[in-house]
Structures are given as C-alpha cells and as structure tokens.
Amino acid sequence: MASLGTLFRLIRANWVLAREGVVAALPGDALEGLPRLAWQFARLIAKRRVAGTARTDRIAKAVARLGPSYAKLGQFLATRADVIGLDMARDLAGLLDKMESFPTAEAKAAIAESLGAPAEMFFAEFGEPIAAASIAQVHPAWVEDAKGRRKVAVKVVRPGVREQFRKNNAVFMLAAQIQDRAFASSKRLKPVEVAKTLEATTRLEMDLRIEAAALSEMAEYTRNDADFRVPAVDWDRTGRDVLTMEWIDGIPLTDMDKVRASGIDLSKLGVTVMQSFLRHALRDGFFHADMHPGNLFVQRDGTLVMLDLGIMGRIGRKERRFLAEILYGFLRRDYRRVAEVHFEAGYVPADQDVASFAQALRAVGEPIYGQPAETISIARLLTLLFEITDLFNMATRTELLLLQKTMVVAEGVARALGPHFNMWEASKPVIEEWIRDNLGPKALLTDARDGLSATANLIRRGPELAERFEALAAEADRSVRDGFRFDAATAEAIGKAEARAARSGRIALWVIAATLIVIAVRLW
C-alpha cells in the first residue's frame, strides 16, 4: 500500500499541474466519464493569468514549482509520444533541464567523498559552475600532471538528489498503478512499465561511472568516423558522483547565431547530425537518446561533438534489421514488405490481416510522398504510424520508443540547420549501406559463422542440458499425476497480496477524489 506521504505528494503534483494550467491545456473534448470531469475541474481551478499562455510555458512553471524530478519526468515522457501524443511530446522535448546551481563547496565535498581525497588533490584549479541540471552540474577545472596543464569539464551529482528522486519515483509509480486500474484503455500503453523504466533510467543516470562508460563505448564505436566524436574520459578523476572529461572548445547548436557566423556549412552539418544518429542506431545498436541541441556542439572544422550521454538507447541486431527494412520499404514505397516486416517482428498481432495493414501503411506513406522532397519528414511518418496502432491492436514496443523519439529530435535539429534539409536523401546512404552489409552475401557469411559458433556451444553443453531436461520431465510427470499444490502458508500469502493490491488502488482513488472535492468546496 502506498504511504500517506506518497499520496500527499501525488495530490500536490496534480494540484500544481491543474493550477498552472497544464491539464487545462490538454485536449479533453473527446474524454468521457471521470477523466472528462477531472479535466473540466482542472480548467475551473487553473489560474486566470495562465489563459493564453503557451503550453510549454505552463509546463515550465509547473516544473519550477515541483522540482528537478519533474523536469526529468518531462524529458522522459517526451520519449513516449504513444502515451501522451506527439504534440505534448514535442512540448516536453523543449523543456530545458535547467536548475539553480548549488554551491561550489558542496561540489568539492561530493568530489572528496566520491574520489576519497580532497578536490585540491585532483585539480590545480576548480571554477564556479557553468551549467546546472536536475541531476548534476558542470564546473570548469584545470589539471596539472605529466601531460602538462589542461582544461577539463567536471560533472558533479547534486547533493540529496537520490532521496528526492526515490520519493518522487514512488509518486510516479502510484499514478501509473491508478491509471492502469482505473482506465482499461490505458493497459495497452503499459503505464506501470513506463514508471519502472523511468525509475531504472534515473538510477543509472545518477551514477556518473555509467555515463563515463557510455562515453568510452561510443568513442570506441566511432573512432573511424571523420565528422563525429565524443569527449575523452579522465578515469583517474571519475567516480560515482563525479565525471571528469576533456574540455570541448566548440559552439553549442543552441546558439545558431554563432554557428552561422562561424562559416560552417550548415547543410553539411545537418546531414552529419542525421547520418551520425542512423550510424549509431543501425551500425552500433547504441545511440544517444537525448539529442537536443544543448547536447550537441560543433567545432571549427565542422566536427560534431556529443555531450551528456546519461540517457542512451540500445537495440539488438534483430530490431536493427526490422528498422532498416521498414525505413527502406518506405523509401521504395513497398508497403507490402513494410507490413510483412511488422508481422515478422511481432509488432502486429498474428490475428490481424497483412493486406489490410499494408493498405493502412499506404495511407501513411502516399501523402508524404506527395510533398516536395525537402519537406518529407520522418517525424510526420511516425505521427501517422502512431495513429494507426490502435486500429491493429499494436502493443507498445518499449525497446523502440527511445529510438523513435530520438529520430524525431535529430530530424528537428537537422531541419533547424537548413530548412530545405532532405530527410530521405540524407538517410538513404546509411540505410542502403546497412542493408547491403547485413542482408546481402556478406551477412550470410556472418550468420553462418554465428550459427556454427552457437552449434558448437550447444554441443559442449549437451550433457548439462540433457540432465536438466531429464529433471524437468520428471517434475512435469509428478505434476500431471499429483497436480500443483501450494502449502497453506503460500496460499494465504497469495490471497493477502491480492487483497492488499486491490485495497491500495481503491484507497488511492478515494483519497484523491475526496481531496479534489474539498478543494472544490473551498474554492466555491
């Protein structure tokens, strides 16, 4: 059962979102029953001054009141256009994760605790913070060693942030459980799984050694890419709460005036952004999942540099093949093949009709191809794909959500660099190269080698597998003969757990409802 503290924090969050006009700004005319009543009530209690204010500004004000955890929640939900809609996802993607900085003395204390010695032992000079976000802030510093004096960037975790996120993650989980139980239509969107993913993501993001490892891995994959790089990690000055890396002299893509004034070829840079993302996703299966302009720098020679690798995405070889074939099918307007790939991947239930799905995909693709080449958009394609998922009972594919969101963001960055950016022309060489290398004769040799290796491993484990199978067969025989049995304690524990779960959901709903009624009475 949720604690009273968690219930209170959930009620407060709903109140702030309603008062700041965030809920009222959502489309609610199509809602029915309790959701529509809640939406109408939220419109009633929204502050009068928020009328006419852009939804992005309303969200920013609500986040400022609720704290860093909600900024991170907003960033995470920006990856779930299937849950909140593409328009809302775009608004959240524009929510900048900027917070007040904490004192440098506290940063030095965190460094000392993480690295086991005072900050002065590691840095010859340590500057004031230049950027602060929900989880950490960045300081310039200087190191003096055998390599000479050099400037570095030092990222330090915000004090107390773990406890704050622990409490608010409990709030997010409670909200997801209520949604899952109260609204049957939301089960397809897996709200509890979304909350669990958020909790796991933030836990990893608060260990800066994980980000350092991501930087190292990305550097290894991209060491031969002439137009892309990531900062080098200083492992001697990196721990759980501190990450030290190479200082990057470059221009952030948030400062477009400086980028234009630098004389860098913006069209070429846009192509580099898109092709880098696709190479990372298709070739490496490992990509930056938060590619907003603030995390992208360009150096004077046009090299693209990625920072802040706290949120990374991975997709397996099989998913990469499906992605490449889907994009390639749209490029060739082969909707039947795109439909078949969706079924082969298990994205569409087997009881659906392939031909009907191909027809729906044609309805998605053809309007796009009727546009001028420079306006053809993957973002538009994904929007339309989301709209047909309900028609064919397609479940949420959590392993592809970060990929889909990042593809849209990367395209947006590329278009900002050049309004006539041709999405398909930029993507085509990378997709065709991957198809050639992974679905042609070269791929057959690779698959054959992998198959032989798997067969050899199976033969080596033969005796062990045979022994396990024999034990399993004996257990199955006993179950068929005697039936499955629980002892009294197990049966009682299962019953109590089910009762607690049902009671928790009911109590949470009634507490929230009672609170809203009290608020309404006071307002009237």
Integer Cα distance of 363 and 325 in angstroms: 18
Integer Cα distance of 373 and 212 in angstroms: 40
Alpha helices in 50-103 (DSSP H): 55-66, 68-77, 81-84, 86-93
Q: Which residue reads 């004389």 in tokens?
A: 263
In order of 283, 452, 453, the CA distances from 448 in angstroms are 19, 6, 9
Long-range CB contacts for residues 426-430, cutoff 8 Å, separation at least 24: 426/270, 426/271, 426/274, 426/275, 427/274, 427/275, 427/278, 427/327, 427/331, 427/378, 428/331, 429/275, 430/275, 430/278, 430/279, 430/282, 430/283
Integer Cα distance of 250 and 302 in angstroms: 10
- Please identify every residue annotated as catalytic: 290
Tokens standing for residue 28: 């609610």
Contact 330, 363 (CB under 8 A): no
- Give strand pairing partners of 297: 252, 305
Contact 133, 99 (CB under 8 A): yes
Amino acid at residue number 216: S
Contact 413, 273 (CB under 8 A): yes
Integer Cα distance of 401 and 78 in angstroms: 10
Integer Cα distance of 317 and 329 in angstroms: 18
DSSP H or E run through 7: helix 4-19
DSSP H or E run through 260: helix 256-261
DSSP H or E run through 161: helix 161-182
In order of 7, 42, 45, 47, 178, the CA distances from 22 in angstroms are 20, 9, 11, 10, 20
Note the maximum CA span of the chain.
81
Contact 281, 186 (CB under 8 A): no
Integer Cα distance of 217 and 494 in angstroms: 44
Smallest Cα–Cα separation from 319: which of 173, 477, 438, 210? 438
Integer Cα distance of 203 and 312 in angstroms: 13
Q: Hey, CA dihedral for 250, 252, 253, 259, is it positive or negative?
A: negative
Integer Cα distance of 483 and 505 in angstroms: 33
